[in-house]
Amino acid sequence: MARPLVGFHDGCALHGALATAAAIEGVTPLVHSTPGCALRGAFSSTGAQNFRGAPIHLSPISSTNLAEKHIVFGGASRLREQIKNTLSVLPRGLLVVITGCPTEMIGDDVPAMVREAVTQGEAVVDVGAAGFLGSAHRGYERLVSVLASRVGELNLAPASEAPGLVNIFGIVPRYDETWASDLDEISRLLAGVGLTANPIFGPGGGLSSLAALPKAVASLVLSPWGLAPAQALQEKSGVATVVADGLPIGADAVEKLLRQLAAATGAVEETAIERLLSSERRYEDFALDETLDALSRLGRRRVALVGNSLLAGSLARFLVSTLGWEASALVLTDEPDGPLPTDLAGRVVATADGVETAAAIRASGADFLIAGARYGALAAELGIPLAAIADLGGRASLSGGFVGARGAARLLAALTATPVAPKLFTPQAALAAR
């Protein structure tokens, strides 16, 4: 049922599905909906400021741009025409037809149009991702689940054998802003112990990555949104599912993840894990030494964290277990299904609503905020430092991310770079502290 959202996070399911499809090299997204649906997602997911024209950062998005007559009389024939001409204008690969709210409401027979193309030997698949089905993360979940469960039907070139292949699920391109960097660093870590990451998205992924999904020894699930795709693949192809505690931030989290994968796959040698962990710990030691002066000046902080479930919980875990800070509030803006992780912070809320988020931050009594840049005004009003981990624009995908010891180092740099107002002794503050 509808609920008012003010100053909210995220796009809709269509936007998430679109961003996900567009992040797979060789996939052409075709949005079957009215104009505007696709571009709202394409622009907003990168913080673009200009309204005019096409999004420069994405590969072309085919769209039926339905008119009033299609709403009245149906848009199936328009879709047929668009599929045919998309195959002519854009490079051939996999065409993913994503349906929006209007076409779901008017009842276009999209599967029939897609079947027509498939029977002619074309690689086309349809995914229902109407915006009213939920968040952008839900759109990722729906699209990747369809691809995982139907990968054998997609007319893709067969994948070559890759021993120790691990599918990575749960990182949502663009909506988890550091997605490309995080996938890259996870790939590097897995390679360090003899595994091969199958990232699907970004420069390391592509159609061959999709085709290889059933050949993996395991599917690594890094956020709740990766669970359904991994389970779909497990049901269809028997690939084991390994559920991790979000992004592995810092050396300890890397160790836990590698041992989980070693146990699940039996394909990792202990010596390889120890060698990699030694290197990760040395890097983290270096980062802690470099920032220790600033950290000690900053003191122990009570932090309010606002972010997606991929990142926010892992950040809280690192801050508490490695820095000894206190997570006073955790706001999960992607509203994941299932029970909330109540062990991570004093107050845990799942909401996409900006007003509820601000209220949770205020109520937490935090003296440090880790959140999107949009909360800068609130941090200034509360007089607390803000380390911005979201709303960073498209460049965040190149930022290096937060995975591993290197990610922890970037986090430490961000925390200690944040200007802190000097703590002044005042009688009122002393009295309040009693």
Partner 1 sequence: MARRPRLQTRETRLGALGARLGDAESVVADFAGDDLPQKRIRTFSEAAHDDLSAALDVLGLVEDLGLVVHGPRGCAVGPGAAQESATLARIAVTDLDQRDTVLGAGDALARTLKRLNDAVNPAALVVLGSPVVAINNDEIRAVVAEVATEIGKPVVWARTDGFRSHIAATGADAAADALLNIVDFQGEREPDLVNLLTSWTGPAIDDFAAAISTLGLRVNVLPAGAKVAALHRAARARASVVLDPDGLDALASGLSERFGVPVLDAPPPIGPKATALTLTRLADLTGRKIHAEASAAAVDFLRDKRIVLAGPSAFAFALADLAEAAGAEVVGLTLPHLDRTHSEPLARFSERRPKAQIHIGEAQGFELANVLQRLAPDLVVGAPDAVAAALRLGIPAARLDPADVIGVSGADAFAKAVSDAFAGAALARRLARSSARYSAGWLRRSPDWHVKLEVK
Task: Write out the binding residues for partner 1, residues 91-130 only, by CB under 8 A.
Answer: 91-92, 101-102, 104-106, 130
Residue 225 lies near partner 1 (rule: CB under 8 A): no
Burial track 263-294 (b if 16+ CB lie within 10 A, e otherwise) = ebbebbeeeebeebbeebbebbeebbeebeee
10 vs 280, which CB is nearer to partner 1?
Answer: 10
Residues in the chain: 434
d(CA 213, CA 237): 9
CB of 17 to partner 1, least distance (A): 11
Q: Is residue 354 near partner 1 by the rule CB under 8 A?
A: yes
Q: Closest separation between CB of residue 35 and partner 1, Å?
A: 4
Contacting partner 1 within 375-434 (CB under 8 A): 376-377, 391
Q: Which is nearer to partner 1, 34 or 418 (CB)?
A: 34
- Which CB, 81 or 337, lies closer to partner 1? 81
Residue 366 to residue 291: CA distance in whole angstroms: 22
Starting from the edge strand earliest in sequence, which strands make up the sheet with 348-350, in order? 348-350, 326-332, 302-307, 368-372, 386-390
Question: Three-state DSSP class for 199?
Answer: coil
- AA letter at 329: A
By the rule CB under 8 A, 231 interacts with partner 1: no
SS3 427: helix
Judged by beta carbon, residue 43 or residue 140, the one nearer partner 1 is: 43
Contact between 94 and 125 (Cβ < 8 Å): yes
Residue 250 found at the interface with partner 1 (CB under 8 A)? no
CB of 321 to partner 1, least distance (A): 32
Nearer to partner 1, 263 or 377 (CB): 377
The pair of structure tokens assigned to 212 is 């290889």
410, two tokens: 């970037």
Which one of residues 35, 152, 203, 324 is an interface residue with partner 1 (CB under 8 A)?
Answer: 35
339 near partner 1, judged by CB under 8 A: no
Q: Does 299 bind partner 1 (CB under 8 A)?
A: no
Plot region of 74 (φ>0 → left; ψ -120 to 50 → alpha; else → beta): left
Query: Of 151 and 352, which CB lies nearer to partner 1 in the complex structure?
Result: 352
Instruction: Count the alpha carbons within 13 Å of 30 in the hemisphere toward its beta carbon.
Output: 29
48 binds partner 1 (CB under 8 A): yes
Task: Choose one: 28-36, 191-199, 217-225, 315-323; the region binding partner 1 (CB under 8 A).
Answer: 28-36
Is there binding between residue 5 and partner 1 (CB under 8 A)? yes
> DSSP code of 419?
-
Which residues ranging from 253 to 282 are in contact with partner 1 (CB under 8 A)? Answer: none
- Binding of residue 308 to partner 1 (CB under 8 A): no
Residues 364-376: b if buried by 16+ CB within 10 A, e if exposed: bebbbbbbbebbe
CB of 70 to partner 1, least distance (A): 8
How many amino acids of this chain bind partner 1 (CB under 8 A)? 78
Shortest Å, Cβ 187 to partner 1:
22
Task: Map the footprint of partner 1 across residues 60-89, applying CB under 8 A.
Answer: 60-68, 70-71, 81-82, 85-86, 88-89
- Choose the stretch contacting partner 1; rule: CB under 8 A; options: 26-34, 156-164, 291-299, 416-424: 26-34
3-state secondary structure at position 239: coil
Bridge-partner residues for 32, per DSSP? 99
Q: What's the closest the beta carbon of residue 44 comes to partner 1, in angstroms?
A: 4
- Cβ-contact 29, 96 below 8 angstroms: yes
249: nearest Cα among 320, 150, 342, 177:
320
- Residue from 256, 259, 362, 374 touching partner 1 (CB under 8 A): that is 374
> For residue 153, what are the contacts with CB-CB under 8 A and spacing of at least 6?
125
Residues 128-157 that bind partner 1 (CB under 8 A): 130-136
